[in-house]
Amino acid sequence: MDDLAFGGEGVGRADGYVVFVRGGLPGDRLRVRLTEARSRFGRGVIEAVEAPSRDRVGAPCPYFGRCGGCRLQHLDYPAQLRFKAKQVADCLTRIAGVADVPIRPIIGAPELYGYRNKMEFTVARAAGGTVVGLHEADRYDRVLDIERCLIQSDVMNGLLAEARAFFAERKLPVYDQESGEGLLRFLMLREGKRTGEAMVNVVTSAPQVSELAPLADRLRSRVGQTASVILNVNPKKASVAVGVEEHLLAGRDHIREALGGLVFQISANSFFQTNTLQAERLFTLVEESTELTGSETVIDLYSGTGAISLLLARRCRAVYGIEVALAAVDDAQRNAKANGIENCTFLSGEVRGVLPQLIARGVRAEVVVADPPRAGFHPKALRALALLGPERIVYVSCNPATLARDLGELARGGYRVEWVQPLDMFPHTPHIEALARLSRL
């Protein structure tokens, strides 16, 4: 093996023919059985590790290799960081078409395990009964029962165990994707790392509150950190853990998290960075990169629950946050009120629609901060950003490929990419966060 692909597969060559191997690492010498052969590349599985890479380590998780998450646990953490930094650099060179962009040294995570503040588990039916877990590697039709996940805390693992036991004891029917029958669909857990508050969100196909109410009593009596138990109802066939209606079973309809001296309310369906400690580092970098003096207007695109907006509001004249998820906008407004911040305006809708409306109203901004989803900017949103023409843009991305694509467009539209900062939010996975600062030419 001589490289890693963006998804974390090992890349090897046999007589010039490229073979992708799940679990292979650069420096490995492997005996591989080919499972897929195409004209330009193939895929194979490891039959034997004849000589391991010097960066290969033992994976502590008993589900490693079967579970679809944490694909890089067997790679030494410094090597993970080198791979991720290379991933960002390769995308900038190959996709962005911008030369000589300084890439700062990658910032590693302070916690390698127990770092996630949100986990989503699928409830499924298996031969042995009800399972609550994660999808098997490369399989969306099979769920691996997870008793304990190493990247979530002991509190969240305790909630997982109690919920699983409750589902089994009550013999609650599991939703079947084909027939549309059954009740249980997903179990989502959240935790405020700074506050210690935890949320359990059960996603079902129907509003059977009486069936799930005893779970709330059980959780609150056995896991003291339980601050919120929610029932979300998704009656549609779409396999998503977001409901069309919500029922509060116990506690509050949100939990709280503290970041940068502010307290944030997080509801079941709103977005919040899933690694609290690295989010603090990221938001500090964003604050520094905006170089605010106090007189600026800032527009925060894809603003989520308002974390970046509210942190920046203390250092500028006004902030407009745009976010498509109404639940997140509601959280952002509540967060502003709870923290006594009055110079933030949060708007609900697609950036590609709301940003042109702001421009038409005469709103101008010296600084724009953007944290889009993995797909990056919609072309219409990117055109609206270029029309707005802020002096500085701070772009936060969880996908180096779409970051590079959008940076290339902005560079061709009159912006200079000053630098890019990779930051590892998700140890043991191929995912990498990056922050880019741009200035208008």
Output the pLDDT for position 78. Answer: 97
Which of 367, 431, 377 minimizes the C-alpha distance to 404? 377
Whether the per-residue pLDDT at 137 is higher than 90: the answer is: no
Distance, CA of 81 to CA of 59 (rounded, Å): 17
Output the pLDDT for position 129. Answer: 85
Whether the per-residue pLDDT at 23 is higher than 80: the answer is: yes
Span 412-439, average pLDDT: 96
For the chain, which domains are there? 3-56 (2.40.50.140), 85-110+275-440 (3.40.50.150), 118-253 (2.40.50.1070)
Output the pLDDT for position 206. Answer: 95
User: What are the catalytic residues?
Assistant: 398
Span 123-146, average pLDDT: 88
Output the pLDDT for position 246. Answer: 95
Whether the per-residue pLDDT at 141 is higher than 90: the answer is: no
Residue 400's pLDDT band (cuts 50, 70, 90): very high
Output the pLDDT for position 113. Answer: 97
pLDDT in tens, 213-261: 999 999 999 999 999 999 999 998 888 888 889 999 999 999 999 998 9
Distance, CA of 200 to CA of 126 (rounded, Å): 23
Percent of the chain clearing pLDDT 70 (strictly above): 100
pLDDT in tens, 411-422: 999 999 999 999
Output the pLDDT for position 152. Answer: 97
pLDDT in tens, 258-299: 998 999 999 998 888 999 999 999 999 999 999 999 999 999
The mean predicted confidence, pLDDT, of the chain is: 94
Query: How far is the CA of 306 from the CAs of 162, 252, 263, in angstroms?
Result: 32, 20, 11
pTM of the predicted model, to two decimals? 0.91
Span 145-174, average pLDDT: 96
Percent of the chain clearing pLDDT 90 (strictly above): 86
SS (H, E, C) the chain: CCEECCCCCEEEEECCEEEEECCCCCCCEEEEEEEEECCCEEEEEEEEEEECCCCECCCCCCCCCCECCCCCCCECHHHHHHHHHHHHHHHHHHHHCCCCCCECCCECCCCCCCCECEEEEEEEEECCEEEEEEEECCCCCCEEECCCCCCCCHHHHHHHHHHHHHHHHHCCCECCCCCCCCCEEEEEEEECCCCCCEEEEEEECCCCHHHHHHHHHHHHHHCCCEEEEEEEECCCCCCCCCCCEEEEEEECCEEEEEECCEEEEEECCCCCCCEHHHHHHHHHHHHHHHCCCCCCEEEEECCCCCHHHHHHHCCCCEEEEEECCHHHHHHHHHHHHHCCCCCEEEEECCHHHHHHHHHHCCCCCCEEEECCCCCCCCHHHHHHHHHHCCCEEEEEECCHHHHHHHHHHHHHCCEEEEEEEEECCCCCCCCCEEEEEEEEC
CA dihedral 399, 403, 404, 408 (to 10 degrees): 160
Whether the per-residue pLDDT at 126 is higher than 90: the answer is: no
pLDDT in tens, 340-395: 999 999 999 999 999 999 999 999 999 999 999 999 999 999 999 999 999 999 99
